[in-house]
Chain A
Amino acid sequence: MISYSRGRWAPFWVSLTFAAVFILLRIFYRLVFGSFSWQAIGQAATLALPFAIVIVVCGFLSALIDVRKLLPSMSALRYGRSIGTALAIALSSYPTLIHQVKLLSTARTLRGIRSRSAFLVPLLEHTIERSVALAAAMDLRGFGAGKPSSPSGESAIELKNFSLGYDGKQVLNSITLSIPAGEITVLTGQTGSGKTAILESIAGLSQHFHNGHVDGTLTVGTLDRNATPPRLTAGLIGYVAQDVRLGFAAATAREELEFGMRVSGHTRSEASARAEELISQFSLTGFADQPIEQLSAGEATRVAIASALALRPRILLLDEPLADLDSDARRELVNFLSELHARDQLTIVMAEHHIHELHSLAPRWLSVDSGELNEGLWNAGEVVLPPRALPVVGTDEAFSVTDVSVAYGDRTLFSEVSLSLHVGEVLAITGPNGVGKSSLLSALTTSSDAGELLRLVPENVSSLFVAETLEEELAKADLLAGHKNSGLTAMTFWSILAIEESPELLSVHPRDLSTGTQAALAIALQLSWKPQVILVDEPTRGLDEIARTAMAEVLRCVAETGTAVIFASHDRAFVSDLGCRVLSLDKGELVPIEVDA
């Protein structure tokens, strides 16, 4: 649809076309609004030449001068720096934006929406989310502070009766905590319990970026955090946000590292030298110059950590770094953090659900519950119900497909995959990240002759949402699926979530719902078509333990209605707890396997 790189001389060719059209138009006007003669044609063309030449010269010059290369120097100007930086952000974020446009238009097709303008609103919503994440990342790197002050060696963190509230809503309740320098601390707890708020408060974002109301004291090293904005501690604190991709400004990992250095006030040569250093130190060489949206979750997280450590901070804060990773990538990242800690004696504080892999770091465990802090691990055991058995599988075949193949460029992801499924059956497809599970699901979705039989729920579920409130979203789904005002989608939604209908929740913006509820909503939206099979890509992405159990229950409920479920997941524990049929995608083939947690 839109190509980003069009070759160096493209502007010149464009200008030639413009010049030709310009001359033709002049001749046309002369003939239509003047008198007709062959002489007039020649005269009109000759008189049009000077301006046509100006057009071509402009095109030639813009082909000759690569503005993209000039832009980074603009942010070093004394005047016009802001606009230069804005233009640089616009240019470098363009490819990822185009990627997002493609995702959203795929989602539009998946939901059966025909109107083209319908996805402009979700695109704007995504743009706002990205702007806020990017702005926070820039502040954390010292944007607008000039040269980052050389940090003091002090990296202990001290909270005394620290409370935080947003718009009158209390998020953290009188927390007292002392983290000595060089220690690893892990915050555990349910989604929304306040783990992120603690990290953001230590980083200064809560107080100075999100304009939260604070009480009590928070000291980082010798600094009063409540009085020191993030930009002044860029050299002391490195921050890795939860959704790292949202905060990326650049088109490649190398440019992202350079952008971070430039934002903190370093010169172009310093920035590229440090980026080179980080690329080799963090083993990013293999993908440093690839389009950043094509990196795997593990690779993207490594880039974000490298970028957070670019200014050699003494404190590293990580918000759920393991969330999107498969088990191999998790182990790799934990080993990496352990080496980093051993070498630099960093103070590390992280929030994480996946505690299993973290035991090897021997961290100090803390648990956060409704804004209160306690020593020790958060125990979900009391609230998590044991999984119920899946419903009995029907005898009728719901779906079968033979010989599906997908190639990606010159690489074959899988060839001649065959698969059949019974009514009410649940099937898991496992395999590490990047093996082609998502491609298999979308290939299956389009493989069926009767397209209405299968419905796909993509991995980034929020891309399916087009309405302003949950209520409108559910009504819209009824409308799209051709049973307007039936309330069917709403009924499906509440029953798979297994909760009472809540008027309070109905008025919430779909993007503001919790991750687990968003996933359930996406499934309900796609169920409104009454498909024989529903395909779900990574249903447990970003879910904590309670939400994961709830998701298992959602899938069970769906199967109970007779709809067969195929889901792709790298979450082995989830798959094994569910106790369904499992196929593993391995070297382009689907093989049945047994999974133990």
Chain B
Amino acid sequence: MIARLNFKNVFVIAASLLAVCAFAWPLFATALPQHAQAAVPVVVFALVPALIVVISLLLDGAVSSSKTLALLGLLAAVGAAVRIASTGVGGFEAVFIILILGGRAYGARFGFLLGMLTIALSSILWGGFGPWTAFQMFAAGWVGAGAGLIPGRITGAADKAARRREIIWLIAYGVLASYLFGALMNLWFWPFGVGPETSISYLASGSLPDNLARFGIYTLVTSTLTWDTVRALTTGIGLALIGVPALKALRRAKL
């Protein structure tokens, strides 16, 4: 564990934490003096893409072998195909299955890059580039990375029971990640998504508990109960159905 905490990984974690802060800007901005508040969204919109570039450069060395590269590219293409093909009801949700399996089979760094590239590729192919793209890339990257970090990972040969246990971990993670992804994507967007003068609006002058309560209602009614639940179900059921054989298939490739 200590050996893996080299300076690059420390930087990657630091950049990720900085990005989390950027996602949560509506909760911090209220603490700033009034004249500085207007600048916060601008800083955030510049910071997140910059952090994407920084993390990409830091992780570049982790995928330098031809096998990892080819796998990363082709799996991102699979992810993008799934995302584009399943637009509509359940939408973008099936992509999580690919991200979680990829991150699980090949590790957190691979998972992060897979999430990022899948979003980038589908945006290039389908259109839909917007202010949200960089945020989506980060959030999808975390989903993939997280799957590589949670416990119970099988490294060598394993019996059926162990494989089942691993999938149960992944399903739990997939459900949790589905809701967290929705909440995070709502958090940064909240002040833009809802205009002023409603009971769920962001209050630039409000206190943190007040804003948290308002955000809670916003995210609950606009996505937690609807899209996020669809996503959690799609991901959970998908992993339950194909998790074991899919992971076995991915692990057939020896990196």
Contact = CB atoms under 8 A, between A and B. Distances in A.
A90 B66 contact: no
A34 B197 contact: yes
B249 A125 contact: yes
A135 B66 contact: yes
Contact of B67 (A15, A101, A131, A468): A131
B30 interface: no
A220 B33 CA distance: 72
Given A87-B76, A131-B71, A30 B130 contact: no
B180 interface: no
B69 A89 contact: yes
User: What is the interface of chain A mostly: helix, strand, loop, or mixed?
Assistant: helix
B85 A1 contact: yes
A198 to B, nearest CB: 22
B105 to A, nearest CB: 10
B127 A62 contact: yes
A123 B78 CA distance: 8
A29 B191 CA distance: 12
A2 B82 CA distance: 10
Contacts of A468: 245, 248
B9 interface: no
Contact of A11 (B69, B101, B127, B199): B127
Interface in B44-82: 53, 56-57, 59-61, 63-67, 69-78, 80-82
A387 interface: no
Given A90-B80, A132-B253, A97 B74 contact: yes
A86 B60 CA distance: 10
Given A30-B197, A59-B129, A124 B60 contact: no
Nearest to A97: B77
Q: How large is the interface on A (under 10, 10 to 19, 20 to 34, 35 or more residues)?
A: 35 or more
Contacts of B198: 29-30, 32-34
A15 B130 contact: yes
A10 B127 contact: yes
A83 B183 CA distance: 28
A25 B60 contact: no
B196 interface: yes
B113 A86 contact: yes
Given A55-B131, A82-B60, A139 B81 contact: no
A4 B77 CA distance: 12
Contacts of B197: 30, 34-35, 40, 43
A210 B69 CA distance: 16
Contact of A94 (B64, B77, B195): B77
Nearest to B97: A120
Interface in A4-29: 4, 6, 10-15, 18, 22, 25-26, 29
B78 A127 contact: yes
A249 B73 CA distance: 10
Contacts of B126: 6, 14
A18 B130 contact: yes
A411 interface: no
A94 B121 contact: yes
B242 interface: yes
A408 interface: no
A15 B245 CA distance: 39
A169 interface: no
A249 B192 CA distance: 41
Contact of B130 (A33, A47, A58, A91): A58
A134 interface: yes
Interface in B208-255: 238, 241-242, 245-246, 248-250, 252-254
Contact of A135 (B69, B125, B200, B245): B69
A54 interface: yes
Given A30-B197, A89-B74, A97-B81, A58 B249 contact: no
B195 A121 contact: no
Contacts of B53: 80
Interface in A501-531: none
A93 B120 CA distance: 15
Contacts of A10: 127
Given A82-B63, A144-B66, A130 B193 contact: no
A101 B81 contact: yes
Contact of A29 (B129, B131, B200): B200
A98 interface: yes
A474 interface: no
B128 interface: yes
A117 interface: yes
B124 interface: yes
Contacts of B253: 128, 131-132
B81 A26 contact: no
Interface string B153-196: 00000000000000000000000000000000000000011111
A466 B253 CA distance: 18
B249 A128 contact: yes
A32 B200 CA distance: 10
B250 A128 contact: yes
A15 B127 contact: yes
A87 B121 contact: yes
B39 to A, nearest CB: 15
Contact of B84 (A2, A85, A131): A2
B117 interface: yes
A48 interface: yes
B81 A98 contact: yes
Contact of B199 (A18, A26, A33, A138): A33
A304 to B, nearest CB: 17
B66 A121 contact: no
A51 interface: yes
A62 B125 CA distance: 11
A228 to B, nearest CB: 16
A67 interface: yes
Contacts of B130: 15, 18, 54-55, 58-59
Contact of A82 (B69, B195, B245): B69
A272 to B, nearest CB: 21
B75 A127 contact: yes
A81 interface: yes
Contacts of A15: 127-130
Interface in A399-450: none
9 contacts: A15-B127, A29-B198, A47-B196, A80-B60, A86-B69, A89-B73, A127-B71, A131-B74, A138-B69
Enumerate the 10 nearest inter-chain pairs by beta-carbon distance, A residue then B residue, closest first: A89-B73, A11-B127, A33-B198, A62-B129, A14-B127, A34-B198, A135-B66, A135-B70, A86-B73, A131-B70
Given A83-B63, A131-B253, 14 more contacts: A11-B127, A22-B193, A61-B129, A67-B124, A85-B73, A86-B69, A86-B73, A88-B73, A90-B73, A90-B117, A90-B121, A120-B238, A121-B245, A123-B78
